[in-house]
Amino acid sequence: MISSVIKLFLPVAFAFLFGVAITPWLSKFLYTNKLWKRFARKEEHSDEACDKMSPAFKALAETTNELHTPRIGGMLIWASVLATSLFFFILAYFFPTETTVKLNFLSRNQTLLLLFTLVTASVVGLVDDLLVIYAKPGTFANGFSRKHMLSVVTVFGIIGGAWFFYKLGMTGVSIPFDGYLELGLWFIPCFVLVTLATFSSGVIDGIDGLAGGVMATIFGAYATIAYFQNQIDIAVFAAVVAGAILAFLWFNIPPARFYLGETGMLGLTMTLVVMAFLTDTVLLLPFLALPLTLTSLSSVIQIISKKYFGVKVFRIAPLHHHFEAMGWSRYKITMRYWVISVVFAIMGILLALIAH
């Protein structure tokens, strides 16, 4: 009989190798069809904050050009996860043995919702990326507006919250070390709030390799948490996502071959929300995913401070660009974010296990 450990790691290896195998084709397709942003936009860091930038950052701001790096690279991640999920499902369906059935991790009560969320959100993100690539200036040259995207994410949150409330019977969240907070119908607004907050952290995708490393660590942490909760299928799914992200990182250690794009970040952030609720670790998510939390907070703080007080707390928001403005190299920022991600992911795992 195949063990749970083998069930956990074999699909991960498959997802990673599948991602590595299709990357040369994907890369050729993206560059051949010039699937990058066609029209330049005014960058955030072109405002008065430039006066406070280090010379190295000024040079970087002037030379960094997203017009020649393909978008929609996030397809590599969700395509690898989808292929891996379907492969082991089909294997168990057409060749049912004790081993193949055990390896199948696509289950209705645990992972079908996660896969649906990942693919659906990623497709919506893909539409946004394609608008960025093909739309003419004055239409949707920068994709959906922030207002439109927030509306889309809110709809995701409402549907997800309603599904958890009415279909799964979840009416509250666990409070670490202090029991359970019953929310009743307020659970749905809570779900929406968590969805919007997690989506806002997607701006961490601003330096080559940064978002990928952080996300791989977070999903790896959730694989561990779900495994010890005996939610083995969720653990496998989270690990497969981490494996697919590692395949993406293999080709995108700075300088990036292609960007995650909205199809990558929207899919990953929405899936992370669902996974947090399925493992009942919502209140631990801000701690476990600290780099995402800090990224989101830095943008919110900057917006509020500029709008109501006329001052900037950070030279540039989000936070990783603030460090760039201070003169940190992109490699240093990426590596330190990865280190922080691992440290807080480990502590988050320990808290989740102790608290439950």
Q: Is 222 exposed, middle or buried (0-12, 13-18, 19+ CB in 10 A)?
A: buried
Output the pLDDT for position 63.
Answer: 46
Output the pLDDT for position 2.
Answer: 62
CB–CB of 69/256 below 8 Å? yes
CB–CB of 150/137 below 8 Å? no
CB–CB of 75/126 below 8 Å? yes
Q: Is 97 exposed, middle or buried (0-12, 13-18, 19+ CB in 10 A)?
A: exposed
For 211, the 3-state DSSP assignment is helix
**pTM, two decimal places:** 0.91
Long-range contacts of 173-180 (CB under 8 A, 24+ apart): 173/277, 173/280, 173/282, 173/283, 174/280, 174/281, 174/282, 174/283, 174/355, 174/356, 175/283, 176/283, 176/284, 176/351, 176/352, 176/355, 177/354, 177/355
The C-alpha atoms of residue 207 and residue 320 are separated, in whole angstroms, by: 8
Residues near 266 by beta carbon (within 8 Å), at least 6 away in sequence: 121, 122, 124, 125, 128, 153, 199, 202
The C-alpha atoms of residue 192 and residue 151 are separated, in whole angstroms, by: 11
Output the pLDDT for position 255.
Answer: 81
CB–CB of 235/8 below 8 Å? yes
DSSP letter for 206, please: T
Bridge partners, residue 172, by sequence: 182
The C-alpha atoms of residue 6 and residue 12 are separated, in whole angstroms, by: 10
The C-alpha atoms of residue 228 and residue 223 are separated, in whole angstroms, by: 9
The C-alpha atoms of residue 26 and residue 259 are separated, in whole angstroms, by: 12
Mean per-residue pLDDT pooled into runs of 10, the chain (356 residues): 80 97 94 79 43 50 62 94 97 93 92 97 94 74 78 96 96 89 95 96 88 96 96 97 96 86 95 97 94 94 91 91 91 94 96 85
